[in-house]
Structure 1
């Protein structure tokens, strides 16, 4: 084996992954740590807006397929992307949480109505019943909050806690404590069945707002990328007068390009 071929075999390569399940900066750090912990991975950079991960790896130790398979065993799901994936932003974010947010808002209104029962016309004793508030909290955990609780507990079990872990611990803690206080009133504890409903509702509201901001950021990036010309004038060296057009995707670090006055 020649020296050049030996050096080429040790040259790091780059893989681009499309990743789902990214929700916050903590998810980005967790994903980067998981990627860097894999054998053969030398560096990893994750972009929350585009939902991509750029991984630098040693081809002698691992492959992009192995990286993806290892990553898919956790809470993140990844697929291999094309080389120009960073320039092809997704047109829509991940699965919307608007239906779950609507359910959570209805549950929050019903739960809050018990505290303002004096302002309601008529007589509504059911709104003050503890079983009513227990039922609303149970529905909030099972329907709109189930995905948050599941992801949070998985992160805790895998020793990779995230924002969902904090939300899950807070909501479940308030729910279980209130249930015990309701079933055994002799303990003298207070019931906080409204808290799980409020926590989950506000978290889903924040995610919906964040989703809209992320989509707007994607549209802005798309607008900026649309200004990029499809081709550039490449020349062999600074002194050369020979130039010919090449696709911008083929431009590499160190290339010489000729830009005319007024070119985009």
Structure 2
């Protein structure tokens, strides 16, 4: 056998020639140096299909103990009370209400919201009094400090909450309309009181207007004093009285500051007018 016969192998992958242990040994009489290998041939029947098996494992789910879960929620809802607080105008009012409630030894924590006009209070456990009684006492303390407070009954339904929310919205809208009317009236009084001084400004820029009867009346000091008094007792009445009431109860607020400033300005102007007449 020549060497060319040994190297005459087909390089095409789908060639019919096979170089295996058996045909090389039988054709070219090579000694079997390697042990024969056995290949496993799987025989698939055309009528038999493989079936995918799904192995599942049963897992036991235990229902949670509802009694143990309901106990903490029930205790938390009972130990938390809600107060409806009205009359808060600024952040100082919120701080004042919070300090009054937090000063009580039976209170664990408190959160005051000026927009919703509420105070959420979490009471300490183990007290001798019931939680509603403690909430009523706290509401009385807040009311005595100048803010109208009352305990909101617990366990109200969704309809009651929606009704309360609608009442709050209607109340705020009514206060907004009332405040807008008062501001318009107040600026009208300001225009009447300070409008007469515009003639002096016109004189300074070379525009001279003859003073008529209306301007002469507006230049009268007593008329100006009457307009200022009407502004205090008219649009500013609620602000003035609320500030004085809060100061009397030991809880001054921003209305107290504005009220005392307005009273002082009016008093100084009145004294100055009286001295000018003398």
TM-score, with length taken from structure 1: 0.59
SS of residue paired to 2:93: helix
Residue deviations 1:36-58 (CA, integer Å, cap 9, x gap)? 23452332211111111101224
Are 1:32 and 2:98 an aligned pair? yes
SS of residue paired to 1:184: helix
Are 1:142 and 2:213 an aligned pair? no
Are 1:57 and 2:123 an aligned pair? yes
* Match runs of 1:65-144 below 5 Å: 65-82=136-153, 89=165, 90-94=168-172, 95-96=175-176, 97-117=179-199, 123=212, 124-144=215-235
* Match runs of 1:1-264 below 5 Å: 13-58=79-124, 59-61=127-129, 63-82=134-153, 89=165, 90-94=168-172, 95-96=175-176, 97-117=179-199, 123=212, 124-185=215-276
Structure label with greater radius of gyration: 2
Seen in structure 2, the aligned counterparts of structure 1 residues 159 and 69 have a Cα distance that, compared at 3 Å, is: closer
More off after superposition, 156-165 vs 112-121: 112-121
Task: Tell me, in whole angstroms, the C-alpha distance in 1 between the residues paired with 2:155 and 2:223.
Answer: 54
Task: Tell me, in whole angstroms, the C-alpha distance in 2 between the residues paired with 1:18 and 1:12.
Answer: 17
Asked whether the equivalents of residues 12 and 56 of structure 1 are also in contact (C-alpha less than 8 Å), the reply is no
Runs (5+) with no aligned partner, structure 2: 1-73, 203-208
Task: Tell me, in whole angstroms, the C-alpha distance in 2 between the residues paired with 1:12 and 1:41.
Answer: 13
Task: Tell me, in whole angstroms, the C-alpha distance in 2 between the residues paired with 1:122 and 1:34.
Answer: 58
Q: CA RMSD in A?
A: 3.2
More off after superposition, 153-162 vs 123-132: 153-162
- How many residues are aligned here? 180
More off after superposition, 126-135 vs 115-124: 115-124
Q: Which has the higher contact order (CA 8 A, sep 6+)?
A: 1
Task: Tell me, in whole angstroms, the C-alpha distance in 1 between the residues paired with 2:143 and 2:247.
Answer: 17
Seen in structure 2, the aligned counterparts of structure 1 residues 80 and 167 have a Cα distance that, compared at 3 Å, is: same
Task: Tell me, in whole angstroms, the C-alpha distance in 2 between the residues paired with 1:186 and 1:109.
Answer: 25
TM-score, with length taken from structure 2: 0.56
Asked whether the equivalents of residues 45 and 54 of structure 1 are also in contact (C-alpha less than 8 Å), the reply is yes
SS of residue paired to 2:128: coil
Runs (5+) with no aligned partner, structure 1: 1-7, 188-264
Structure 1 residue 142 displacement after superposition: 0.8
Asked whether the equivalents of residues 146 and 251 of structure 2 are also in contact (C-alpha less than 8 Å), the reply is no
Asked whether the equivalents of residues 239 and 255 of structure 2 are also in contact (C-alpha less than 8 Å), the reply is yes
Seen in structure 2, the aligned counterparts of structure 1 residues 121 and 35 have a Cα distance that, compared at 3 Å, is: farther
Structure 1 residue 141 displacement after superposition: 1.0
Structure 1 residue 92 displacement after superposition: 3.5
